Amino acid sequence: MRYLFTKLQAARHKGDPIRAILSYWFPELISALILISLPPMIDSWIISRLGSTTIFGAVGMGTNFLHMLIKLAEAIPVAGIAMIGRHNGAKDYEQCGEGLADTFWTTFIIGFMQFLLIFCMASSIYHWLGVPHEMIAFGTPFLQLKSFGVFLIFIALSLLGFMRAVKNTQIPMCINIIGISLFIFFDYNLVLGYCGFPKLGLMGSAVSTIIQYTIMNSIALYYILTNPDYKKYFARLFLGTFNIARIGHLLSLSWPIMIDKMTIAASYVWLSKMIAPMGKYAIATFNVAKDLERFAFLPVIASAQIITFLVSNSLGAKDPDGASANIKKVFALTCITLVPALLILAFNAPFFISLFDPRGKITAFAGTVLPAISMLVFFDFTQVVLAGALRGAGDVKTVMWSRFFACTCFFVPVSYGLASIPGLAQTTRFVLVYGSFYITTGLMGITYLYRIKSHKWQNRQV
């Protein structure tokens, strides 16, 4: 900690003031809590009330796979935002409307294709993951129905992305809050059968997602089509505009983002496949550990968001020293907030696990492995923050290729080898396999740190 305070002291006269950084950081922390961490945690808590380890494990394995698809969905609107925002800044409003059409139809087509694919192959996906047969029976219909919810997420991301691109962040925030509130309400009542609703069990979670995004999409479409300020963007209704050449251009811009986002998400799918043969208690533990660590990881998510625009603004102002100082400040401040959260999680593991284990079936196993895994999360923190800094400098391919090669050339073979060692206790095997993922992210962090120390990232053309 003394080293971190020394770094802060040395950098305090350069870059943004710490008070300003905190003013950016706290809103992002709250946003990450509401949008990223709470919904899956609450969903897991509600499903755990059913008292079935098999059902709890099935939903965790299914959502891991769907999370990878959602990361694919995020990539196209991110590229679309960049295109639409540039046209909006140039007051080329008709091109903005065409950009929405391109983003909408691209996400619609890809989303519908993934829905058909998963609907037909849900059972095969669970078989490939290697889960117990009873999990396949519960998980297959859940994954089929939930995949339709993911299709609706694809559409929502394109509509909300358009609003952000034209500098409207308040309405997307409100729509997200409405959607999350609806999901929690319907999820609780449809899964458990309260307030006069039928008890749908696991399927209630999938139905709740469909209700959530159907209403969100309806609100977003209504706002875009009826807002008088948006009429300048649409010479004709964007739903009737389809241009294959422009869609091809959008995909060409999206592929680096797709590889970047999907590499980490696909690694979680591979990790779940390596853990599945250890049995349903290990599978359920993986689900709990992932949710708890993401909650503890919120300071890092917030820091990754702000460091991107802090670095980009500093470099835009021709202030590379300020950009470097901001990286040090955000890194140190994030470490100061993350480490206590991980220590609390590690030393109180049985209590936190019991929140998702009302019958005490997995607490013994999970309580043994979670402290060790929690400490390894620090490696992931390093790469996430430094990756955000490199993105802010426009050095996106360094991030993309580092993640791709670290995961495919190191994590996959190492985790497979560790999972195949005979004679290990299951808790030891779990820690080694799960820990290999965080060792991989540590290697990414070293790569990013070397890149930042070389100062080449400061000269990237954006």
Give me the amino acid identity at 137: A
**pLDDT at residue 10, rounded to an integer:** 52
Q: Cα–Cα distance between 67 and 58 in angstroms, integer?
A: 14
**pLDDT at residue 237, rounded to an integer:** 63
What's the pTM?
0.81
Instruction: Calculate ∠ Cα 108-89-26, nearest 5°.
Output: 75
Q: Cα–Cα distance between 92 and 97 in angstroms, integer?
A: 9
pLDDT in tens, 229-288: 878 877 666 665 666 777 777 777 677 777 877 888 889 899 999 999 998 899 999 988
Q: How many CB atoms neighbour CB 317 within 10 A?
A: 10
**pLDDT at residue 461, rounded to an integer:** 46
**pLDDT at residue 432, rounded to an integer:** 95
**Of 445 and 32, which is predicted with more confidence?**
445
Q: Cα–Cα distance between 185 and 78 in angstroms, integer?
A: 30
Token readout for 452 is: 């930042």
pLDDT greater than 90 at residue 441: yes
Q: How many CB atoms neighbour CB 349 within 10 A?
A: 23
> 339 with 378: CB under 8 angstroms?
yes
**pLDDT at residue 462, rounded to an integer:** 43
Mean pLDDT, the chain, whole residue set: 84
CA-CA distances (angstroms) from residue 256 to 72, 78, 143, 251, 389?
11, 11, 28, 10, 17
State whether the Cα torsion 178-179-184-189 is positive or negative: positive
| Mean pLDDT of the 333-343 span | 88
Q: Cα–Cα distance between 384 and 377 in angstroms, integer?
A: 11
**Of 403 and 37, which is predicted with more confidence?**
403
**pLDDT at residue 11, rounded to an integer:** 52
Burial of 95 (0-12, 13-18, 19+ CB in 10 A): middle
Query: Which of these ranges, 2-16, 36-50, 174-188, 216-230, has the smallest mean pLDDT?
Result: 2-16
Based on its alpha-carbon atoms, the radius of gyration of the chain, rounded to whole angstroms, reads 22
Helices (H), 276-395: 280-296, 298-316, 320-347, 349-354, 363-392
**Of 130 and 7, which is predicted with more confidence?**
130
| Mean pLDDT of the 333-354 span | 88
Token readout for 96 is: 């903005």
pLDDT in tens, 158-212: 888 888 777 676 788 888 889 999 999 999 999 999 999 999 998 999 999 999 9
Burial of 377 (0-12, 13-18, 19+ CB in 10 A): buried
Q: Cα–Cα distance between 101 and 391 in angstroms, integer?
A: 27
Q: What is the dihedral of CA 248, 254, 259, 265, to 10 degrees?
A: -120
**Of 49 and 2, which is predicted with more confidence?**
49
Q: Cα–Cα distance between 340 and 430 in angstroms, integer?
A: 24
**pLDDT at residue 439, rounded to an integer:** 94
**pLDDT at residue 9, rounded to an integer:** 53
Q: Cα–Cα distance between 459 and 447 in angstroms, integer?
A: 18
**pLDDT at residue 214, rounded to an integer:** 95
Q: Cα–Cα distance between 30 and 64 in angstroms, integer?
A: 24
- pLDDT band for position 62 (50/70/90)? confident
Half-sphere exposure of 105 toward its Cβ, with a 13 Å CA cutoff? 18
**Of 41 and 87, which is predicted with more confidence?**
41
DSSP assignment, residue 231? Answer: G
Closest CA to 327 of 256, 261, 382: 382
Sequence-distant (≥ 6) Cβ neighbours of residue 364 within 8 angstroms: none
**pLDDT at residue 239, rounded to an integer:** 63
| Mean pLDDT of the 8-37 span | 74
CA 8 to chain centre: 29
